A and B are shown apart, each in its own frame.
Chain A
Amino acid sequence: MIKLNLAKNTLLASLLIGASFNTLAFDFQGAIKDAAKEAVKKQIDPNSGEDAAKPAADAKATDTTAKAEPPEFNWQNPSKEEEISLGREITGNLLGAAPLVKDAKLQKYVNSVGRWVASQSDRADLPWHFGVIESDDLNAFAAPGGYVLITKGLYKKMTNEAQLAGVLGHEIGHIVKKHQLKVLQKQQLLNIGSNFLSDKYAKDNKLVSKAIGSGAEISARSLDKTAEYEADRLGITFATRAGYEPYGLVDVLQTLSQTSPNDGSVALLFKTHPHPDERLAALGDAIGDKLDDVKGGQTLEKRFYKLK
């Protein structure tokens, strides 16, 4: 027990130190998302005979030990299953705001492209899911564990399969690198830490119920720029490996860059991402001559599923 406390405190200290470089840190108020909360709950229920059996009342009754919390979501090192359950929760909330386009052929097509691109990544083992949602926005979302959603508005801006592969590849890149998961982990661990600090092993270990912020708000948040640039590079990497013409994502970024920032359909995208011009320039720097020898990539505009 004592060891565990020590370990946690050490972790906290390093998190606090490390936090200065994290643009999203110190958001104690909004730190825990309902999504995370729900995922935690669901995580608990199926598992344990003992801890899950004692609900909220138990939280008050005990406890001076640090390990009083239920066998919660392992935020320090989430398992693949935990990652997926968290992503599922976030995705379900997002779908609550914008449901799937009711077009089975479209959804199957997007899943086919996405699955093939995801198979070129380091996490081909995830159960990848892709969906087009009812929104005129130009945007796409990724959630931990292999969930990717793209708006109908953005889909309609595309004219070939290579472009779709590039956009899905960008989102796949976020998931492969666990960008969102890491943000949630940091927030959650900071929050756990802050409880320790303020309450000194207090009874209040209801971290899960302390949630502020809700729904799919996490999807409206920014990752830091470097994560976006990395996802851009990975999107092109995966699409190229999959046999597509490498510049599909670039085409889409060019289209986005021509969209007026005053246009409501890009408000959220522009708020949460570097401007497409910066992304194009960053890609140019990273790519240099690396694509010069890539030949035979396909665009497959004929196969591209057209939406009215």
Chain B
Amino acid sequence: MNTLNKLKIVSSLALLFSASIAIAAEAGSALKTDNIRYEPYADAKVTGSFNRGDRLEIIKKQGAWLQVKTKKSTGWVRLLSVKRGASATSSGSNITTLASGRTGTGQVVSTTGIRGLTEQELKAAKFNEPEVQALEGYTQTAAQGQQFAKAGSLKTAAFATIKAPKTNSAGAAK
């Protein structure tokens, strides 16, 4: 009860806050099928689910979790299950936003302005020795790197290399 009330208060506060700066809850879509949980913990009770491509609203972020609202339920999911923005997931439901050149954040992106580094440009490129030397001139030693970390209060964390999952929901090698 208590937590539920808290949760309600917190989420309504979040809504109020976002309303006050004139931004509605951010739109998002599901990158994969996943469960919605009552609290932002892996072992919290499952209160709903969504499917890959489903639209949802992102209410807020907490650590590795997002509080989201779907048509049917509200709750918490891991942030890597959700794509931010209104545009559809690449293989999700078909949405017209892509064609209109609008991104999910509502900002209009130029579709003609910037021309990127092309393959042709890269092919035609000539070796530039002074630039390489300039690049090498900025090199920092391991000790300097450590000092820099210390200045930012960065503390190393023991953390095992993330391995490939046994099964993929996306991007399984062809």
Contact = CB atoms under 8 A, between A and B. Distances in A.
Interface of A: 38, 88-89, 91-100, 104, 107-108, 110-116, 118-120, 124, 127-131, 135-137, 139, 147, 151, 153, 161, 213-217, 219-220, 224-226, 229-230, 233-234, 236-237, 240-244, 246-247, 250, 254, 257-268, 274-275, 277-292, 294, 296-298, 300, 303
A96 B126 contact: yes
A43 to B, nearest CB: 15
Contacts of B49: none
Q: By CB atoms of chain A within 10 A, which of B101, B132, B142, B163 has the most?
A: B132
Nearest to A153: B114
Interface in B88-105: 89-91, 98, 101-105
Q: By CB atoms of chain B within 10 A, which of A116, A263, A265, A287 has the most?
A: A116
B55 interface: no
Q: By CB atoms of chain A within 10 A, which of B79, B89, B109, B127 has the most?
A: B127
B110 A263 contact: yes
B72 interface: no
Contacts of B22: none
B119 A113 contact: no
Given A113-B148, A243-B154, A254-B84, A93 B127 contact: yes
B21 interface: no
A161 to B, nearest CB: 7
Contacts of A229: 164, 171
A282 B113 contact: no
B135 A226 contact: no
Contact of B131 (A99, A286, A290): A99
Interface of B: 31-32, 42, 64, 78-81, 83-85, 87, 89-91, 98, 101-105, 109-119, 121-129, 131-132, 134-136, 138-142, 144-146, 148-149, 152-165, 167-171, 173-174
Given A264-B113, A281-B171, A100 B134 contact: yes
B156 to A, nearest CB: 6
Given A129-B138, A278-B170, A263 B163 contact: no
Q: By CB atoms of chain B within 10 A, which of A92, A224, A243 has the most?
A: A92
Dominant secondary structure at the B interface:
loop
A281 B31 contact: yes
A284 B119 CA distance: 31
Contact of B169 (A95, A233, A266, A285): A285
A129 B136 contact: yes
A294 B128 CA distance: 43
Nearest to B167: A285
Given A92-B128, A115-B142, A260-B103, A284 B157 contact: no
B42 A292 contact: yes
B135 A91 contact: yes
A92 B131 contact: yes
Dominant secondary structure at the A interface:
helix
19 contacts: A93-B127, A108-B140, A111-B139, A114-B140, A118-B145, A119-B145, A128-B140, A153-B114, A241-B157, A241-B159, A257-B83, A260-B102, A260-B111, A264-B111, A274-B171, A281-B168, A281-B171, A294-B157, A296-B157
A186 B152 CA distance: 42
Contacts of B136: 129
A116 B164 CA distance: 24
Q: By CB atoms of chain A within 10 A, which of B129, B134, B138, B152 has the most?
A: B138
Given A215-B122, A286-B164, A225 B146 contact: no
Contacts of A260: 87, 98, 101-103, 109, 111
Nearest to A139: B117
Given A96-B125, A243-B156, 6 more contacts: A120-B156, A131-B135, A220-B117, A243-B155, A260-B101, A286-B162
4 tightest A-B CB contacts, nearest first: A284-B80, A243-B154, A115-B145, A281-B170
A230 B164 contact: yes
B141 A115 contact: yes
Given A115-B141, A277-B91, A280-B31, A285 B168 contact: yes
A116 B116 contact: no
Contacts of A297: 157
